Chain A
Amino acid sequence: MVKVRMATPVLQQNDEVARENRELFRKKGLFVLNLMSSPGSGKTSILERTIAKLSNRLKLGVIEGDIYTTKDAERIEKFGIPVVQINTAGACHLDARMVQPALEDLDLNDLDLLIVENVGNLVCPAEFDLGEDARAAVLSITEGNDKPAKYPLVFRESQVVLINKIDLLPHTDCDIEQLEKDLKLINHQLKIFRVSARLNQGFEPWVQWLEEQVNLKKKLSASQ
């Protein structure tokens, strides 16, 4: 009998492609955001509001991850910005190898900000590096206060949390102050923005943050 020591990370193949993606984004000075959440939290609505606010300030592109449909991509296309659809055909997350070929369908030289909308799922997407610069997680208050404790990884690995549907606060048992405290215990560096995609409220600080990141990335890229 032979014993073979490996100590190889299971996600090594993904992480290698993620590094290639990241290197490409660095060369292009392109800021890439990985947008994650559970299904129905309002990811696509938030994306629509974000695009509406930013499309006259920045050149945007979107990669839409969806298990089977093109419904989300059709919503984004209406804004007249480049959008590439990835159908994962059953897979519950995007990985770096799915994103890599999709990048060939975009003119990266003509983009400032690329937003990747991940498959709706709080569990699996958190495990897969796509090569992005930052991760934003959407959490809607109707999902319940226990979500940070149940799905800690996605919040630990994100730089931003958008708390959505705050217009519904009076109608729920959600304690939003406690929710924010719980999030900060998992990740004290989290930037938290409270928004209502339905009423188009609270988006300015969020899009300002995005714009800052985009400019920072451009500067870094130019100085290298």
Chain B
Amino acid sequence: MHELSLMMGIVDQLRKSAAENNIKKISKVMLVVGDMTMAVPDALQFAFETFKEEELFQDAVLEIRKEPVRGECKDCHHNFGVEDFAFVCPNCSSLNVRIASGRELYIDYYEGD
């Protein structure tokens, strides 16, 4: 359950950015979470709720966009969807695969007034 500490970082970044952009109330936050992160969306939502007493987040909705795990073969450069976390190239069977996506964990954007 490290989602609460992740959410504290998210909320900090939002507070800072909102102050810079003179935004008093946030209505929507779009968070991108890769399938290869260990952050569980439900737990992130739960953690976000704990900040709802703050005026800035009172009416805010947290939306989470999941990114599937994709690999890129370093030998044949084939880009493919990784299933069951098996990093094996379906084209040439190489195990020399880098993670092309799925490790994302960032605030894409937020909306507010």
**CB <8 Å contact, B110 and A185:** no
**CB <8 Å contact, A185 and B10:** no
Task: Pick the interface stretch among A4-12, A40-48, A167-175.
Answer: A4-12
**CB <8 Å contact, B87 and A187:** yes
**CB <8 Å contact, B2 and A124:** yes
What's the tally of chain A residues with a CB closer than 8 Å to chain B? Answer: 34
A123 is contacted by which of B2, B31, B113 (Cβ under 8 Å)?
Answer: B2
B10 is contacted by which of A2, A10, A123 (Cβ under 8 Å)?
Answer: A10
Name the CB-closest residue of B to A151.
Answer: B38
A127 is contacted by which of B38, B84, B88 (Cβ under 8 Å)?
Answer: B38
**CB <8 Å contact, A126 and B87:** no
Given the known A-B contacts A1-B27, A123-B38, are A6 and B13 also in contact in the complex, defined by CB atoms under 8 Å? Answer: yes
- What residues of chain A lie closer than 8 Å to B36, measured between beta carbons? 152-153, 156
Name the CB-closest residue of A to B106.
Answer: A9
A186 contacts chain B at the CB level, 8 A cutoff:
yes
A8 is contacted by which of B13, B23, B39, B87 (Cβ under 8 Å)?
Answer: B13
B residues adjacent to A (C-beta < 8 A): 1-2, 5-6, 9-10, 12-13, 17-18, 21, 23, 27, 31, 36-39, 84-88, 95-96, 99, 105-113
A residues adjacent to B (C-beta < 8 A): 1-14, 91-93, 95, 123-124, 126-128, 148-149, 151-153, 156, 184-188
